[in-house]
A = this chain, B = another copy of it.
Amino acid sequence: MERKEISNAVIKRLPRYHRYLGELMESGVERISSNDLSEKMNVTASQIRQDLNNFGGFGQQGYGYNVEYLYNEIAKILGIDRQNNMIIIGGGNFGQALTNYSNFERRGFMIQALFDVSHERIGKSVRGIRTLDMKDLEEFLSGCHIDIAVLTVPKNSAQEVADRLIACGIKAIWNFAHLDLKVPDDVVVENVHLSESLMQLSYRISEKRDKEGSGQNS
């Protein structure tokens, strides 16, 4: 499939379309108009049409969308129609929480191993997934195709670990460490900076407080 450049905003909305279509399928809906989908998702119908037109449309004027077909097509666009193998670096609370989150598997993201430096954790299993010694990272990666490495290590070791992963050929990093990784152009990074998300919420709270304080109730 040839792709044109798609804006970040569209890419961010695709998983949400996928989620809503999945829910519609579960409740037995076979066909939906962009207007009805728009109302459900709180996005304008023209936005939905525009977003989907980036990938060739999928709807027939006046007939709406076939829910299952659109769901599967969006899955293909998102690359979740195939298995993605993952490893998690950092077997602390956060790494364990991610390992225990079985929803990822349902979308084809399979965790193959956890890695840690702590002797208390090495050798233990979380939901059947082994915790291996960080020392053995290179050996493990030489024998196993991994699509995504998840980084839940402390900030001060994150770049060093990323460098090791990249040297082993890892091309995608899901980064929970609170720094911006330096990576070559052919490596993709998706950041989850929880502190920053919390600060955005705090901004919204302050903004509301100020508005209420100055009598402009929103």
Contacts and interface: CB of A to CB of B under 8 A. Distances in A.
Report, as a range, how many residues of chain A touch the other chain.
35 or more
A202 to B, nearest CB: 4
A8 to B, nearest CB: 9
Contacts of A103: 178, 195
Interface in A171-218: 171-172, 174, 178, 180, 185-186, 188, 190, 192-211, 214, 218
A117 interface: no
Contacts of A98: 194
Contact of A11 (B42, B77, B200): B200
A190 B185 contact: no
Interface string A6-37: 10000110111011000000000000000000
A206 B79 contact: yes
B190 A201 contact: yes
A93 B84 contact: no
A26 to B, nearest CB: 12
A103 B198 CA distance: 11
A186 B200 CA distance: 16
Contacts of A186: 208, 218
A159 interface: no
Nearest to A180: B42
B93 A199 contact: no
B195 A104 contact: yes
A97 B176 CA distance: 12
A183 B171 CA distance: 39
A140 interface: no
A14 B2 CA distance: 36
Given A2-B214, A100-B93, A109 B190 contact: no
Given A11-B203, A93-B100, 4 more contacts: A16-B196, A93-B93, A190-B201, A192-B197
5 contacts: A15-B199, A19-B178, A78-B199, A92-B97, A148-B205
The 8 lowest CB-CB distance pairs between A and B, nearest first, are: A79-B206, A93-B97, A15-B196, A190-B201, A188-B204, A15-B199, A79-B202, A94-B97
